[in-house]
Amino acid sequence: DHPEIKEDIYRKNDRLLTFLKDVYVESRDPPVQVKDGGDEHLPCKLEEKRLTKLGNLGDLDVKKVSKGRISIVEALTLLNNHKLNPQIWTAEKIAVEYSLELKEVNSLLEFFIPFTVQEFPKETKKAI
Chain centroid to Cα 106, Å, comes to 23
Query: At 67, is the secondary structure helix, strand, or coil?
Result: coil
Domain spans of the chain, in order of start: 49-111
pLDDT 10s digits, 85-117: 999 999 999 998 888 899 999 999 988 877 777
Does position 81 have pLDDT exceeding 80, yes or no? Answer: yes
Contact partners, residue 72, CB within 8 Å, separation at least 6: 62
Question: Hey, is 57 helix, strand or coil?
Answer: coil
Q: Note the pTM of the prediction, 2 decimals.
A: 0.48
pLDDT of residue 53: 65
